[in-house]
Structure formats: structure tokens, C-alpha cells
Amino acid sequence: MKKTLIVLALLASFQVANAQSNVNSAAKAVESALAASQNEKKATKVATWLKLAQTYLDAYGAPAGNVWLGADQASLQLSMGNEKPVSVEAVTLGDGQYTKQVFENKNLYINGAGQLAIIEVTKPVVENALGKALEAYKKAYEVDEKHAKDKEISEGIKSINEKLSQEAYYAYSLGDVKKAESFFEAAFDAAAQKPYEKVDTNSLYNAAFTAWSVQDFSKAKTLFDKCISYGYYADKGEVYAKLSDCAAHIDTTAAGKTAAKEYLEKGFAQFPTSESIVFGLINYYMTSGEGTDRLFELLQQAKATSPDNASLYYVEGQAYKQIGDLDKAAKAYDESAAKDPKYVFAYIGKGQMYYDKALELQEKAQNELDDNKYMALVQEFEVTLKKCIDPFEQAYLVCEDASIKSTIAEYLKQIYYRFRDQDAKYQAGYEKYNTLLNN
């Protein structure tokens, strides 16, 4: 054990002593390899371009040094040795609190679990090193007429694709969505290069999504259309919903609205249980003056094709809820549960519907000045809130997802607490879920 600790300590010391020299060495290596590639004779050799590509990749990684994603603080201290941060501060990003450690050439972001989550290089050895590495691999493929190095070139391109994708996630996490879009698109383009030639639909969709997020609807539409061309539709056909939104923003005339509807109807034909598509259709039919009859015709057609699909009845319930017909929504949720008694969303949908209605009634009551009307609204609020209990209880019984189960328990705890003084069963219900949530 002592011998192992000594070796680790020596390794850390070596890494510290060479932290800056590694950066300098990487820069010199690029300079040397670049000079070789500009030599007329050497430029005809595949090895010249493979070396240049590798030096660019090494230069890309040099500022980060030996740190790795997921490393805890102790591991970081060991791998970085005496390389200390210039400053440390608490920062808030989109998904929570982070500790930002500022170094001379990089910022490290430690998440709430104490693990390295983001590496932000602030002083790269070479600007656009990944793009330049990709160009070098493309040149290597070009001069390698016998394709003897296809495997090595493919592995290099794959590495670039992965690194560009990781940079995109870093940028997105740091709030630079436009930069993230650029990296995702670059990752997709890199993967398509010969001889790797992969269709990176994940990066393509993310490029489209981030373009849509910054309201670059023309670019987003082009990229989402490309997703469709590759047969990639994302979760439950979300690509169609996004294409519809893009079309509506790009062209605000009647033609644009028609194009938006056509995307939704195409999407519904393939993904009839997609809530985003169904809600898009509801919004279209309600605002266009055409009415929602067409939507429910589509739902009936889908149910006729898949009569035992519980999720179709659930979506029908969501649609009726959206237009305010709670009785038909409740019937659809019940039909969904009858088709599959273990389909938790049938119960959650019904319970959430009554809970949302109860909150609406509560707000009305709070704004009502007439005492009689106020009391009537309070009574209606309580009746409606109690209607949540049975479906939420059923949902809790059949739910297998721990996080969803916890959320259901929180709803039940609050509801039972509201009525705890009216009946002992409500007090017992409150105590049950309060105990479950606190254990």
C-alpha cells in the first residue's frame, strides 16, 4: 500500500511540473507538424497528415491536462497537484448550483455532488483545434489512395465528433445556446466525413433544437427537415411538433398556418399518442375557426386502428381537458385505465385534471368579494379537490417509478392535510404520506 501511495504522489508531482510544459510542447508539436504538411514532398504522405491531426487533438486536450469528467475533489487535487485555482466562486447555471474554479487557462465547474461536470478552456493552445484536426484527417484520407489507414482515420474522426458534441453540451450548460448549436452542427458534419460516414442524428436533432431555442426558425426548420429525411423523429415525433412551430413563425399568413397543420397531421398519423402534437392540433383548430371536431375524428381513427392502446385514451382525455370538457376527459381517463389497469398516467391524468380545476376555483374564491358566492366557490373547490384522491391513490399503487411515486405522494399529502380536521381518515392519510416522504 505504501508503495502505491508513493507512486501516486510521484505521478502527481510529475504532472504539476509538466502542466505548463505540456501546453508549450503541444504548441511546438503543432508548429512542427504544420511545417511538415507544407513541405511539398512530405505533404504527399498520409503519415504527415495523421501526425498533424493528432497534434491538433493533443493541443485541444492540453489545457485540460489530466482532469476528467466525474472526478471528485480529491481526484482533481491529486491529478493537478500544485496547480491551484486563481479564484473560486459559487455560480448558478440552468440545472443548479456549481462551484467554479478559475485557472490560468481553464474553468472547472463542480456540481452539487462534488464532481467535475464542465471543463471550459479559456486559453486554447490552438484556436479551432478540432476543426483543423478534422481537415487534416480529410487530407489524410485524400492522399491515402490505397485506404490502408481508413480505420485510423475513422477513429480520429469519431473522436472529433465526440469532442465537438461534448463542447456543445458544455456551451449549452453555460447558457450559450447559439454556440452549442454551432458545435452540435459541427459534430454532425464531422461524423459524416469519409471514411467514418456516420449519421449522427442525436447531434443533428440537438442542432435543430438549439437553433429553435434561439428562434432561428429558418435554420431550425432546415435541420428538423433533415432529421425527417434520415427517419429520425425524436421522442414521440417531437420533430413534427417543432417543424410545425417553425413553419408558423416563418410564414404568418394562412399558407404558413396550413403548412404548420400539415406537419402536425403527418406527425399524428405516425405518433397519435404525442401530447405535443395533439396540443398543437388543438391550438390550431381552436384558433383557426375550424373547431376541434377534426382532431377528435383523428383520435377516433387512431383508436379504431389500436383499440387496446391505453395511451390513446389518455391522450384523448388530455385533449378534452385542454378544451375544458372535464366530463368527457374523465371518461377517457377511465377508459384508458380500463384498457390497462397498470397504466399509471391514466390515473395521474384524471387526478391532475381535478387538482388543476381545484386550484382554478381556489383562485376565483380568493378574488370573490360577495360572501355567498365566495362560500359557494369554496364548497365547489373542496368537492373538486377530493375528487383527486381516488385517482392519485390508484396511481400511487401501480406506479413503479420512484420519482413519480414521490410526486404523487406529495400531492396526496397536501390534499389530505387540507381536510385533516374534517374526518379521521384524512388525518390518517396525511400522516401516512408525510411519514413516507420523510423516510
Same domain, 48 and 91: no
Same domain, 18 and 74: no
Would the pLDDT of 381 be above 50? Answer: yes
For range 72-97, the mean pLDDT = 91
What are the CA-CA distances from residue 290 to residues 117, 284, 294, 319 (Å)? 49, 8, 8, 16
Same domain, 3 and 31: yes
Q: Report pLDDT digits (tens) over 257-284.
A: 999 999 999 999 999 888 889 888 887 8
Same domain, 52 and 86: no
The residue among 20 and 345 whose pLDDT is bigger is 345
User: In this structure, what are the phi and psi dihedrals at residue 119, rounded to the nearest 5 degrees?
Assistant: -115, 115
Same domain, 59 and 112: no
Most distant CA atoms of the chain, gap in Å? 96
Same domain, 55 and 100: no
CA–CA dist 40, 229 (Å, integer): 42
CA angle (352, 415, 383) in 5-degree steps: 75
Cα separation of the two ends of the chain: 40
Confidence at residue 19, expressed as pLDDT on a 0 to 100 scale: 54
Domain end call among 14, 45, 63: 63
Residue 184 cell numbers, joined:
452540435
Neighbouring residues of 362: CB distance < 8 A, sequence distance ≥ 6: 381
Asked whether residue 111 is assigned to any structural domain, the reply reads yes
CA–CA dist 38, 58 (Å, integer): 20
Residue 300 cell numbers, joined:
377516433
Confidence at residue 81, expressed as pLDDT on a 0 to 100 scale: 81
CA–CA dist 295, 283 (Å, integer): 10
Same domain, 50 and 101: no
- CA atoms within 13 Å, Cβ hemisphere of 129: 24
Helix pair angle (254-270, 238-250), 10° resolution: 180
Would the pLDDT of 345 be above 80? Answer: yes
Q: How confident is the model at residue 80 (pLDDT cuts 50, 70, 90)?
A: confident
Would the pLDDT of 291 be above 80? Answer: no
CA–CA dist 117, 169 (Å, integer): 10
What are the CA-CA distances from residue 273 to residues 72, 154, 313 (Å)? 42, 39, 9
Confidence at residue 82, expressed as pLDDT on a 0 to 100 scale: 80
For range 294-318, the mean pLDDT = 88
Same domain, 53 and 82: no
For range 412-437, the mean pLDDT = 96
SS (H, E, C) 281-316: HHHHHHHHCCCCHHHHHHHHHHHHHCCCCHHHHHHH
Would the pLDDT of 330 be above 90? Answer: yes
**pTM of the entire predicted model:** 0.76
Radius of gyration of the chain, Cα coordinates, nearest whole angstrom: 29
Q: Report pLDDT digits (tens) over 369-379.
A: 999 999 999 99
**CB count, 10 Å around CB of 231?**
8
Q: Which of 294-303, 305-314, 421-430 has the highest mean pLDDT?
A: 421-430
Would the pLDDT of 5 be above 60? Answer: no
Asked whether residue 110 is assigned to any structural domain, the reply reads yes
Confidence at residue 20, expressed as pLDDT on a 0 to 100 scale: 60
Confidence at residue 6, expressed as pLDDT on a 0 to 100 scale: 35
Q: How confident is the model at residue 285 (pLDDT cuts 50, 70, 90)?
A: confident
Asked whether residue 246 is assigned to any structural domain, the reply reads no
Please count the structural domains in the chain. Answer: 2
For range 5-24, the mean pLDDT = 48
Domain end call among 104, 123, 142: 123
For range 358-380, the mean pLDDT = 95
Asked whether residue 40 is assigned to any structural domain, the reply reads yes
Asked whether residue 345 is assigned to any structural domain, the reply reads no
Asked whether residue 37 is assigned to any structural domain, the reply reads yes
Same domain, 4 and 56: yes
Q: Report pLDDT digits (tens) over 169-227.
A: 999 999 999 999 999 999 999 999 999 999 999 999 999 999 999 999 999 999 999 99
Q: Which domain holds residue 8?
A: 1-63
Domain end call among 46, 63, 80: 63
CA–CA dist 85, 27 (Å, integer): 23
In 3-state terms, what secondary structure has residue 91? strand
Confidence at residue 187, expressed as pLDDT on a 0 to 100 scale: 98
Q: Report pLDDT digits (tens) over 218-256.
A: 999 999 999 999 999 999 999 999 999 999 999 999 899
Asked whether residue 314 is assigned to any structural domain, the reply reads no
User: What average pLDDT does the chain have?
Assistant: 92
For range 299-316, the mean pLDDT = 88
Window from 274-288, 329-343, 402-416 with minimum mean pLDDT:
274-288
Nearest to 433 by CA among 403, 389, 416: 416
Q: Report pLDDT digits (tens) over 116-142.
A: 999 999 999 999 999 999 999 999 999
Confidence at residue 14, expressed as pLDDT on a 0 to 100 scale: 38
For range 99-109, the mean pLDDT = 95
Residue 5 cell numbers, joined:
501511495
Q: Report pLDDT digits (tens) over 56-72.
A: 999 999 999 889 999 99
Please, are residues 392 and 347 in contact by the beta-carbon 8 Å criterion? Answer: yes
Query: DSSP assignment of 315-354, as one string?
Result: HHHHHHHHTT-HHHHHHHHHHHHHH-TT-HHHHHHHHHHH
Long-range contacts, 210-215 (Cβ 8 Å, 24+): 210/168, 210/172, 210/177, 210/178, 210/180, 210/181, 210/184, 211/181, 212/242, 212/245, 212/246, 213/177, 214/177, 214/178, 214/181, 215/249
Confidence at residue 293, expressed as pLDDT on a 0 to 100 scale: 85
Asked whether residue 55 is assigned to any structural domain, the reply reads yes
